[in-house]
Amino acid sequence: MTQKLRVYEDTKALFHLPDGVIYLDGNSLGALPLGVAERVNRVITVEWGHELIRAWNTADWYVQPRRLGDRIARLIGAEPGSVMVGDTLSLKVYQALAAALEMNAARKLILSDTGNFPTDLYMAEGLIATLGRGHQLRLVAPEAIEAALSEEIAVLYLTEVDYRTGRRHDMAKLTAKAHALGIVTVWDLAHSAGALPVDLAGAGADFAAGCTYKYLNAGPGAPAFLYVAPRHAGSARSALSGWMGHEKPFAFELGYAAASGVERMRVGTPPVLAMAALEASLDIWDRVDIAEVRAWSLDLSDLLIDEVERRCPQLKLVTPRAPTQRGSQVSFAFEGGYAAMQALIARGVIGDFRAPDIMRFGITPLYIGEDEIIRAAEIIEEVIAGEEWRRPEYQVVNAVT
C-alpha cells in the first residue's frame, strides 16, 4: 500500500510555490502540484504523440472520467461508481437540477439562498426558461433555509460552503428534513471537496457537483464532477444527452438511449489533458487523510482570525466562528477591501476579493502552515494600519478580482 503523507510536513514539498509568495487563494485556484507537469507532458508526448487515436483505448482515456470520479468519491463520501468527471461545474449543476426537477415533476419551486454562487442561480434561471413549465426560483437568506422547506418545494438547491463568507450549511440535517417533506436535494461542493470531509452517502444526498480547480489543485479550467445517488442513477435523466452518455456511443444509433448508472451523465469528449493534471493532483489526495486536513484547516483558520482581529480592528470577520459552521476560508469585510487586497498581493500575500467588500483568505493545509499564517497577518497589519492600500495604483479594478 502507498504510504500515507503527513499534511504539510510531507505535502508542502509536493507543490510549486513561488519564492516570496504566501498563497491564500487555494479556495479559488489551488497551487500547482509538482507531478502535474510531468504527467501532462507524458500524456502529450507519449500518449497523444506516439499512440495518437489509439490512446483512447491503450491509455484508457475513455474510462478516465469514471476512474477519476471514483478517486474523488473517497473525498466526498460517495459510493464507488457514483461520480463522473467532466465538463464545467456550471453544466454539472444544470444537469443535476434538471434531473432533480424531473423527479419531482408535480412541484414547481426551487429553493436556494442568497449566498449561493451566481452561476448556480443563473443556470437555474436558464433551465426554468427552457423548460417553460412555470418553475420558480425562491431565494431566502442562508439562515432562513431550514424554515423555508415545505411540501411546495421540488428541489433544495444549495452550495454547502458559501463562496463569500465561508459559512457552511448542515448538509445531513437539511437533507433529512428535505426528504421528510418529499424534496430532492442538489448540493454544490465547490468549496467543500478537498476542504473538509463530506459524507454524501451518509447524508443521503440525491445529487451533488463540484469543481477540481480549487482545493483539489487540478489547475485552471480543470473538469468538474457530478454525483448521482446510486438509487437514482438508473432513472435520472440527463438534460445534456450527448453521445458519450449513450448506452452504446460507438453504435452511432440515431436515437438517444441513456447509459446505465452515472455514465449517462457524461456529455461529450472529455478534456484529456486537463484530466491528466487532475490525475496527478489526486496522487497526493489519495495519500492524505481528509480528517487531518480538516483539523489543520480549523487550527490555521483560528490562528488567522486571532492574529488579524488583534492587529486590525478595522477588518470585520464575516466567517462564522463556530468550526462546524465554516468551510476552509476566512473572510473579512472592509470598505477598502479591493484596494487592500491589491496591496497585499503586491506584498506577496495572495488572497482575493468578492464584491461588495469581502477579502477572502483560503486555508489549504497541504501547503500552508502556521509560519505563513503569522507572516501573512503581519503583512495585513502593515497594509491596513500603514494605509498602504490607499495608494492610487491599488484602486485600479482588474477584470478578475
Ligand X SMILES: Cc1ncc(COP(=O)(O)O)c(C=O)c1O
Q: Which residues are catalytic?
A: 117, 188, 213-214, 360
- Does residue 354 sit in helix, strand or coil? strand
Among 5, 31, 73, 89, binds ligand X (CB under 6 A): 89
> Does residue number 163 form part of the binding site for ligand X (CB under 6 A)?
yes
> Does residue number 241 form part of the binding site for ligand X (CB under 6 A)?
no
Query: What is the DSSP secondary-structure string of 15-59?
Result: EE--TT-EE--TTTS--EETHHHHHHHHIIIIIIIIIGGGHHHHT
Nearer to ligand X, 154 or 190 (CB): 190
> Does residue number 117 form part of the binding site for ligand X (CB under 6 A)?
yes
Q: Cα–Cα distance between 390 and 378 in angstroms, integer?
A: 18
> Does residue number 207 form part of the binding site for ligand X (CB under 6 A)?
no
Name the grid cell of 208.
Answer: 451533488
Residues 246-275 as x/- pattern, contact with ligand X by CB under 6 A: ------------------------------
Q: Residue 47's Cα: distance from chain center in Å? A: 29
The window from 16-24, 70-78, 83-91, 335-343 that contacts ligand X (CB under 6 A) reads 83-91
> Does residue number 160 form part of the binding site for ligand X (CB under 6 A)?
no
Output the smallest distance, CB 190 to ligand X, in A.
4
Nearer to ligand X, 215 or 394 (CB): 215
Burial class (CB in 10 A: 0-12, 13-18, 19+), 85: buried
Nearer to ligand X, 163 or 332 (CB): 163
> Does residue number 211 form part of the binding site for ligand X (CB under 6 A)?
yes
Q: Pinpoint the alpha helices (H) of 33-156.
A: 35-42, 55-58, 64-73, 89-103, 118-131, 145-148
Output the smallest distance, CB 242 to ligand X, in A.
17
Task: Judge whether 259 and 266 are in contact, CB under 8 Å.
Answer: yes
> Does residue number 354 form part of the binding site for ligand X (CB under 6 A)?
no
Output the smallest distance, CB 299 to ligand X, in A.
24
Residues 216-235 that bind ligand X (CB under 6 A): 224
Q: Pinpoint the alpha helices (H) of 132-203.
A: 145-148, 171-180, 200-203
| DSSP classification of residue 167 | B
Give the amino acid at 73: A
> Does residue number 159 form part of the binding site for ligand X (CB under 6 A)?
yes
Total residues in contact with ligand X, by rule CB under 6 A:
13
Q: Cα–Cα distance between 290 and 288 in angstroms, integer?
A: 6
> Does residue number 174 form part of the binding site for ligand X (CB under 6 A)?
no
Nearer to ligand X, 124 or 312 (CB): 124
Name the grid cell of 176.
Answer: 433529512
Nearer to ligand X, 5 or 155 (CB): 155
Nearer to ligand X, 163 or 296 (CB): 163
Beta bridge partners of 185: 156
The window from 86-94, 172-180, 319-327, 390-398 that contacts ligand X (CB under 6 A) reads 86-94
User: 342 phi and psi, to 5 degrees?
Assistant: -65, -40
Name the grid cell of 116.
Answer: 449561493
Q: Is the dihedral of CA 148, 161, 274, 123 positive or negative?
A: positive
Selection from 220, 232, 223 nearest residue 78 by Cα: 232
Output the smallest distance, CB 30 to ligand X, in A.
12
Q: Within 13 Å and on the Cβ side, how many CA atoms surround 245?
A: 23
> Does residue number 139 form part of the binding site for ligand X (CB under 6 A)?
no
> Does residue number 188 form part of the binding site for ligand X (CB under 6 A)?
yes
Output the smallest distance, CB 89 to ligand X, in A.
4
> Does residue number 120 form part of the binding site for ligand X (CB under 6 A)?
yes
Among 90, 104, 241, 325, binds ligand X (CB under 6 A): 90
Selection from 65, 372, 84, 75 nearest residue 215 by Cα: 75
> Does residue number 277 form part of the binding site for ligand X (CB under 6 A)?
no
The window from 13-21, 112-120, 284-292, 380-388 that contacts ligand X (CB under 6 A) reads 112-120
Q: Where do contacts with ligand X occur on this chain (CB under 6 A)?
A: 88-90, 117, 119-120, 159, 163, 188, 190-191, 211, 224
